[in-house]
Amino acid sequence: MKKVLAVTLFFLTFPFLAKAQETNKFGAGEIHGNFQMMAQNYLVDSTIGAKEVSEKIRMNSFANLNYTNGNFKAGMRYESYEKALLGFDPRYNGSDITYRYATYTNDDLEFTIGNFYEQFGSGLIFRSYEERGLGIDNAMDGIRVKYKPTAGVYLKSIIGKQRFYFAKGEGIVRGLDAEFNLNEILSGFLPEFNSEKAHYTYILGGSMVGKYQADNDPIRILPENVAAFAGRFNFISDKFNFYTEYAYKINDPSLTNGFIYKKGEALFVSANYSVKGFSLSASAKRVDNMDFRSDRNADVNNLTMSFLPAISKQHTYALPAFYPYATQPLGEIGEQFELSYNFKKGSKLGGKYGTLVTINFSNANNLDTTQTGNEQGYTAAFFRKGETLLYRDLNIEVVKKISPKLKTTYTYMYQVFNKDRVQNVSGYGTVFANIAVFEMQYKINSKNTFRAELQSMRTKQDFGDWAVALAEYTVSPHWFFAALDQYNYGNAIAEKRAHYYSGSFGYTKNATRFIVGYGKQREGYLCVGGVCRLIPASYGLSLSISSTF
Amino acid sequence: MKAKKITLLFLFICIVFSVNAQNKIPAVNVKTIDGATFNTANMVNDGKPIIIDFWATWCKPCVQELSAITDLYEDWQKVTGVKIYAVSIDDARNSARVKPFVNTRGWEYEILLDPNADLKRAMNVGDIPHTFLINGKGEIVFQHAGYAPGDENELYEKLLGCINPDVK
Amino acid sequence: MKNSSLFIFGIFVAFTFAACDEITGPYTEEVNVTEGGRKILLEDFTGHECGNCPYGGLEAIKLDSIYKGRVIVVATHCSFFADTNKNGKFSYNFKTPVGDELDQYFSIETAGLPKGMVNRQAKDGDYGIFSNRLLNYTEWGSSIAMELNKTAAVNLSLTKNYDTLNRNLNLDVEIEYLAKGNINQQLVVYLVEDSIINWQKWYGHIPEDVSNFAHRHVLRKSLNGTWGDRLSGSVKSAGQIISKSFITSISPKYNQKHCYVVAFVQNNLTKEVLQVEEIKLME
């Protein structure tokens, strides 16, 4: 209760303080925010496996408020799960202020107290972030200092605990990150290093993260302080970009790695070359025992510190995204290549309006490991892949504008998905799928547009064949109407050959959106970045409202 | 529970009282596509308007919107002098893809990287795409969530409106 | 300004890396099992198609042997992981109505398996989040160590009279209060069968489907319902003794040599277990 009072006072006082300061250089403060609400009513449907929900209607909502006054910023978020939507962890239950902070910036120094999100490098050893749609929020609660001692040097340090639903995790997280932009540092002395003149940039960075968690285990001797280190290098020129980051973690026995005392490491390398109309890129990643969390007993997506997204392409059409890959933090080797070419307008293949072709390939295998039979768990060859294929995907996308009104997209994909290993289940084996997608968009006039998608997935495994049809009609700038049917016509079990149909419409005015939907949602994984969440099958009416003010 | 409701009520009162004509871009550090740290307080365009568009490589409507505007950008710039900042919220999975993605499509926007959504959060953006129009004084005068083909026309009207208030 | 900032920064750096624990062995320590009247109920929620569950089972066996006589294990098969296939592997039914009711009440299926409860206690006494009570197997040891330090509020003694031919059991339970007891306390009596050989999925084994897995400490039934009987409708004073008697027959499907009875007293509001005791049918 005291907390609530404090926050109230805080927000009550600031507008007045702001008024009082109107004469000084800060001027009056501003409050902005956003609001989002998603509600769903649940009906029963035995064919698709939509179960009875005793509350009938469930709702997730939240509102952010941010106050700014010159160098001072403060804000909060109020979250409410009056029973969390199906698929969200039921530990999101009830309503509370889950995020509040105050930040003060003075020249090259910035202090934040309260909650904050932060990422060191690409996040191999530390990323605290939110994906509200996935129910992921490992915000820090503590103190952060950012400091720029001189041009080109950026220091960050953090200390605190991570969010765990409506509480905090047990472990104390401490971290430090330094980034050196060599061009900015050197251009002070040597003008030729000015990146505008030099046309290239070198950036070096390093970070260290430690966590403390008491060892109360009566049997095992556990490390109470576990540290991880990472170094990164980035070279950027007009056409070429090279990035690499390596991370190392000392012994960190945990629930997810089965209490082994092996060190962890991760290597990420990415390079690309691009000019107008053409690009080529490649990346590779090796992850070995790198699941790093602020609580050694945490599971699922809770209290993660390391962020290890998959390097495969993130698909957005329904069927290519049907079997989404997620990095196996305990061990994988993967690589990815992409070639993209824009056939110019007027050329043979480009036609009158140009044609964009993108070819992408990605692959991930397990590590080549040898069990040691002791507390180290296993040893792994550094460069050799293991025999088990986890994921492979070859896809080609062609975007072709046929006339100013008609635009078409053709996608073909071949996918291999080791369902047992990626989703940690058994008895499903590996899925081999051929997927084709056709999309067309026809602009009737400057306001009205019709868009359609036809998708097909052929596979002998798991649920069998699927077909998807989508039709969408938009009236700019306010309305959209959409109808979708996903048909599992190839399911081996005849009764499960269900249609998952749904319809929706929405209204948008400036930064406010209302969307109403009705229909059936199939069970499946929803993924953003490298993290996935299983959404159970559901059937019913949904309403979502979002607004930024 | 009651106390919480009262808190919320108070908060809304606060908002009402502190809503202010000026509506500035918050100062947040993001990265340019050349790896340099960029403070959004430095988003300036010599007294001409600015458009900030939040997007990601995996977001279809975002790419649609930026592709639609790219054909018009040259004309828009001639008439209004506008500068577009396209802020990618791609995380570590895709942030290396941004530069090749932009180059292949020949986009001429100022590209910024916001991989941990710091600017997105500071500007209270929910789902993307989300577009802000900032006038020559640095005030946010219009914003729009989502994209439907043709929305760029509305944006252009607002853009003309903010350089020449009579056209509103 | 700059100097003070650097100073603050320096402190941060020092704090971050002052400590770093590299363990090079030994990896385990001797456990000092203290004497005491309190015994601990460890419930292992498991399922035969749950490939990670044997890790929980192994941890339970380990803790059982370390805290010999002070930890009493009951393995409850529940959630979809314990569903039966019509034929072939995993066709044996380990499920019980008691297990289903516990699953419902404690959201075990939602939490995922393997999970366990130590005296049905929640971390920090906070029952708001189910995972405070449903512990991953890596937390069972520390939780047991903490529970063992508490003093017993109740003494339980069991006496049995078992007829191996007709398989009839007469059980007397005597509850002696060592401290004041509230009105919500209930006595629960479960029947457990040890070492049932049947199929189990185990990711740590090759092949993953193990045909002759020894299922330990399997909950078979309750003698008096999932939550037991109320001890009395009034406040109990220290020194008070309450006696209860049970008569039941043991199904011929169970191996009577492997059966034992587990009795415990719990607070029916919080479900916390105050004391537990076991007795074998044939010994």
Residue C3 in any domain: the answer is: no
Do residue C8 and residue A250 have CB atoms under 8 angstroms apart? no
Whole-number pLDDT of residue B3: 52
Mean pLDDT of chain C: 88
C-alpha C94/C-alpha C47 separation (Å) is 8
ipTM above 0.85, yes or no: yes
Measure in Å the smallest separation between the Cα of C23 and chain A Cα atoms: 7
C-alpha A388/C-alpha A2 separation (Å) is 55
pLDDT in tens, B103-112: 999 899 999 9
Whole-number pLDDT of residue B164: 67
- Joined together, the tokens standing for residue A522 give 């199939």
Residue C5 in any domain: the answer is: no
Q: What is the 3-state secondary structure (H, E, C) of chain C?
A: CHHHHHHHHHHHHHHHHCCCCCCCCCCECCCCCCCCCCCEEEEEEECCCCCCHHHHHHHHHHHHHHCCCCEEEEEEECCHHHCCCCCCCCCCCCCCHHHHHHHHHHCHHHHCCCEEEECCCCHHHCCCCHHHCCECHHHHHHHHHHHHCCCCCEEEEEEEEEECCCCEEEEEEEEEECCCECCCEEEEEEEEECCEEEEEECCCCCCCEEEEEEECCEEEEECCCCCCEECCCCCECCCCEEEEEEEEECCCCCCHHHEEEEEEEEECCCCCEEEEEEEECCC
Ordered by start, the domain boundaries in chain B are 24-167
The closest CB to that of B94, out of A73, A307, A314, belongs to: A314
DSSP-assigned states of every residue in A341-398 = EEEPTTSTTTTTT-EEEEEEEEEEEEEEEEE-SSTT-EEEEEEEEEEEEEEEEEEEEE
Q: Which residue type occupies A177?
A: D
Total structural domains within chain C:
1
At residue A193's C-alpha, the angle toward residues A156 and B116, to 5°, is 30
Q: What percent of chain C has pLDDT over 90?
A: 58
Residue C169 belongs to domain spanning: 36-280
C-alpha B77/C-alpha B79 separation (Å) is 6
Residue C27 in any domain: the answer is: no
Do residue A375 and residue C27 have CB atoms under 8 angstroms apart? yes
CA count, 13 A, side-chain hemisphere, A125: 31
CA count, 13 A, side-chain hemisphere, C96: 21
The segment(s) of chain A belonging to CATH 2.40.160 are 28-313+443-548
C-alpha A190/C-alpha A282 separation (Å) is 33
Calculate the CA dihedral of residues A104, A110, A111, A115 and round it to 10 degrees: 90
Q: Which helix (H) or strand (E) holds A93?
A: none
- Joined together, the tokens standing for residue C142 give 């520390």
> Residue C45 in contact with residue C108, Cβ under 8 Å?
yes
C176, β-bridge pairs = C155, C241
Do residue A34 and residue B126 have CB atoms under 8 angstroms apart? yes
Q: Which helix (H) or strand (E) holds A249?
A: strand A240-249
CATH tag for A28-313+443-548 (out of 1.20.59, 3.90.1570, 1.10.1740, 2.40.160) = 2.40.160
At residue A145's C-alpha, the angle toward residues A139 and A148, to 5°, is 130
C-alpha C42/C-alpha A229 separation (Å) is 39
Q: Is A270 left (phi over 0), alpha (psi -120 to 50) or beta?
A: beta
Residue C70 in any domain: the answer is: yes
A529: helix, coil or strand?
A: coil
Tell me if chain A has a CB within 8 Å of the CB of B67: no
- Joined together, the tokens standing for residue A423 give 């989703």
Calculate the CA dihedral of residues A288, A292, A297, A300 and round it to 10 degrees: -80
Whole-number pLDDT of residue C203: 83
Whole-number pLDDT of residue B168: 43
- Joined together, the tokens standing for residue A220 give 């095992």
Among residues A69, A60, A64, the alpha carbon closest in space to that of A103 is found at A69
Do residue A73 and residue B100 have CB atoms under 8 angstroms apart? no
Among residues C191, C196, C185, C178, the alpha carbon closest in space to that of C241 is found at C178
Do residue B93 and residue A529 have CB atoms under 8 angstroms apart? yes
User: In the predicted model, what is the mean pLDDT of residues C175-185?
Assistant: 89
CA distances for A323 relative to A338, A398, A538, angstroms: 20, 22, 19
Do residue A221 and residue C20 have CB atoms under 8 angstroms apart? no
Residue C22 in any domain: the answer is: no
**The pairing of beta strand C71-77 with beta strand C40-46:** parallel
C-alpha A406/C-alpha A392 separation (Å) is 33
Is B2 a residue whose pLDDT tops 70?
A: no
Residue C165 in any domain: the answer is: yes
Q: Which residue type occupies A107?
A: D
Q: Which residues from A are below 8 Å from C19, CB to CB?
A: 210, 212, 224-225
Interface with A, mutate which of C49, C53, C105, C138 (most A CBs under 10 A) = C138
Q: Counting beta carbons within 10 angstroms of the beta carbon of residue A52, is it exposed (0 to 12), middle (13 to 18) or buried (19 or more)?
A: exposed
C-alpha C64/C-alpha C47 separation (Å) is 20
Whole-number pLDDT of residue A5: 52
Residue C20 in any domain: the answer is: no
CA distances for C25 relative to A92, C21, C59, C63, C262, angstroms: 40, 12, 20, 21, 38
Residues 132-151 of C with CB under 8 A from A: 135-139, 141-142, 144-146
Q: Which residues from B are below 8 Å from A310, CB to CB?
A: 93
Among residues A549, A69, A531, A477, the alpha carbon closest in space to that of B125 is found at A549
Confidence band (pLDDT; 50, 70, 90) for C15? low
C-alpha A245/C-alpha A196 separation (Å) is 25
Residues 7-26 of B with CB under 8 A from A: 7-8, 10-11, 14-15, 17-20, 22-24, 26
Measure in Å the smallest separation between the Cα of A485 and chain C Cα atoms: 29
Measure in Å the smallest separation between the Cα of C199 and chain A Cα atoms: 15
User: In the predicted model, what is the mean pLDDT of residues B58-85?
Assistant: 91
pLDDT in tens, C73-87: 999 999 889 998 877
Q: Which residues from C are below 8 Å from A429, CB to CB?
A: none
Question: In degrees rounded to 5, what are phi and psi of residue A192?
Answer: -70, -10
The closest CB to that of A210, out of C17, C63, C203, belongs to: C17
> Residue A109 in contact with residue C5, Cβ under 8 Å?
yes
Q: What is the CATH number of the domain that holds C137?
A: 2.60.40.10
Whole-number pLDDT of residue B65: 92
Among residues B84, B72, B75, B82, the alpha carbon closest in space to that of B47 is found at B82
A390: Cβ contacts below 8 Å, ≥ 6 apart: A325, A328, A332, A334, A364, A365, A366, A418, A421, A422
B9: helix, coil or strand?
A: helix
Among residues A456, A483, A451, the alpha carbon closest in space to that of A468 is found at A456
Is C169 a residue whose pLDDT tops 70?
A: yes
Q: Which residues from A are below 8 Å from C130, CB to CB?
A: 90-91
Among residues A314, A451, A277, the alpha carbon closest in space to that of B147 is found at A451
Q: Kindly list the partner chains of chain A, i.e. chains with 3 or more CB atom pairs below 8 Å.
A: B, C
CATH superfamily, region B24-167 = Glutaredoxin (3.40.30.10)
Interface with C, mutate which of A98, A220, A257, A330 (most C CBs under 10 A) = A220
Tell me if chain A has a CB within 8 Å of the CB of B42: no
Measure in Å the smallest separation between the Cα of C261 and chain A Cα atoms: 28
Q: Which residue has the tokens 């034929």?
A: C87
Do residue C110 and residue A90 have CB atoms under 8 angstroms apart? yes
Whole-number pLDDT of residue A15: 47
Interface with A, mutate which of B13, B62, B93 (most A CBs under 10 A) = B93
Whole-number pLDDT of residue C176: 93
Among residues A425, A222, A192, A410, the alpha carbon closest in space to that of A320 is found at A410
- pLDDT by position in tens, chain A (length 549): 455 555 555 554 554 444 444 433 345 678 888 999 999 898 888 878 788 888 888 999 999 998 888 888 999 999 999 888 888 888 888 899 999 999 999 878 899 999 999 999 999 999 999 988 888 899 999 999 999 988 889 999 999 999 999 889 999 999 999 999 998 888 877 777 776 667 788 999 999 999 999 988 888 889 999 999 999 999 998 899 999 999 999 999 998 888 899 999 999 999 999 999 999 999 999 999 999 999 998 888 899 999 998 889 988 888 998 898 888 888 999 999 999 999 988 888 878 888 999 999 999 999 998 888 888 889 888 888 989 999 999 999 999 999 889 999 999 999 999 988 888 777 788 999 999 999 999 999 989 999 999 999 999 988 899 999 999 999 988 999 999 899 999 988 888 888 988 888 999 998 898 989 898 888 777 655 445 566 778 888 989 898 988
Where do runs of H (alpha helix) occur along chain B? 2-18, 60-80, 98-105, 118-122, 151-163
C-alpha A493/C-alpha A475 separation (Å) is 41
Among residues A461, A431, A426, A491, the alpha carbon closest in space to that of A47 is found at A491
> Residue B90 in contact with residue B113, Cβ under 8 Å?
yes
A548, β-bridge pairs = A34
The closest CB to that of C19, out of A217, A225, A426, belongs to: A225
